[in-house]
Amino acid sequence: MKQDFTRSIVSIFYVFLGLALLISCGGGGGSDSATAPATAYQTEALTSIETQTGDPMYAGFDLQFRQGDYWLYDWTDVYTSRGLVKDPFTGLYPWNTTTKTGTVRLTLGTPQTILGITFFQVITEYTGDAQYVKLPWSSIASFNNKIYGYRDDGVYLIFDAQNGTWKGGSFFSGASNKDVTGPAGTFSISRDNATGQCSVLFPDKGINIGVGMSMVDYFSPYIGPVKYDMNYRADTYHGEETLVLSGSSKNPPE
């Protein structure tokens, strides 16, 4: 997810520099994981919906989406760049920081059946500078402990709590490119034992010329997507973009 043309160029630049990504889940309460066999990367949209039976790897993600469900996020983007002219007194290049803030509200609208399951239109409302945020899915669905996203080119699996295996999708940034992420199914989603929260982490590998990027999607039981965190850096700029849940119609049972 990028806010403007400049950030899109940054993202493309990182891709061609060959950043390798992994999948993991962190937290102060420790983590557990399950090793899954490698599977072929889903380079195209799904043609069918998986219907595995049995207990899910991670409980609490049978989310039962309904029309009217919503998630409200506080959005912050902090961007720092180095000036082009040295300070005459210090001899150093000054650093300038720009902070943008706003909110993003996602509400589930009209339902439709796609590949035999119910998807709900995603209605997006913005305040403040968050108008720059572009979310990737026009509709989403929850089925069999999984979250699916739909866009113009079809259906993708975003989050799989049934099998605990990452399949190449991201709630906040879309379907992943295999050249960036590696084969889907070769990594397992893990869980913070203390909170039950899972995260899909694309960690900063860094390269020799000093650029890097990391992204994290967070999912909580009974709620769904609760946070997105993206950091990027180069020699002359760095920044962080976050979406943090501040309210939702989905809540854990009392």
What digits encode the pLDDT tens for the residues 41-70?
344 678 888 888 889 999 999 999 999 999
Residue 196 forms part of a structural domain: yes
Torsion of CA 57, 139, 19, 79, to 10 degrees: -120
**pLDDT digit string, tens, across residues 136-172:** 899 999 999 999 999 988 898 889 999 887 777 889 8
Does residue 115 surpass a pLDDT of 60? Answer: yes
What is the domain count for the chain?
A: 1
Q: How many CB atoms lie within 10 A of CB 88?
A: 6
CA 155 → CA 30, 64, 160, 204, distances in Å?
Answer: 33, 18, 14, 28
Does residue 29 surpass a pLDDT of 50? Answer: no
Residue 217 forms part of a structural domain: yes
DSSP code per residue over 88-112: TTT-S--EEEEEEEEEEEEEEEEEE
- What is the per-residue pLDDT for 209? 53
Residue 211 forms part of a structural domain: yes
- Rounded Cα–Cα distance for residues 109 and 68 (Å): 6
Q: What is the mean pLDDT of residues 212-227?
A: 89
> Tokens 């040295």 map to which residue?
86
Residue 115 forms part of a structural domain: yes
Residue 142 forms part of a structural domain: yes
Q: What is the mean pLDDT of residues 114-133?
A: 94
Residue 48 forms part of a structural domain: no
- Segments forming the whole domain that contains residue 109: 5-29+58-248
- What is the per-residue pLDDT for 10? 44
Pick the more confident residue, 254 or 192.
192
Contact status, residue 65 vs residue 159, Cβ threshold 8 Å:
no
**pLDDT digit string, tens, across residues 237-254:** 889 999 999 999 998 887
**Beta-carbon-side half-sphere exposure of residue 172 (alpha carbons within 13 Å):** 30
Residue 51 forms part of a structural domain: no
Residue 179 forms part of a structural domain: yes
Does residue 106 surpass a pLDDT of 60? Answer: yes
Q: What is the mean pLDDT of residues 177-190?
A: 60
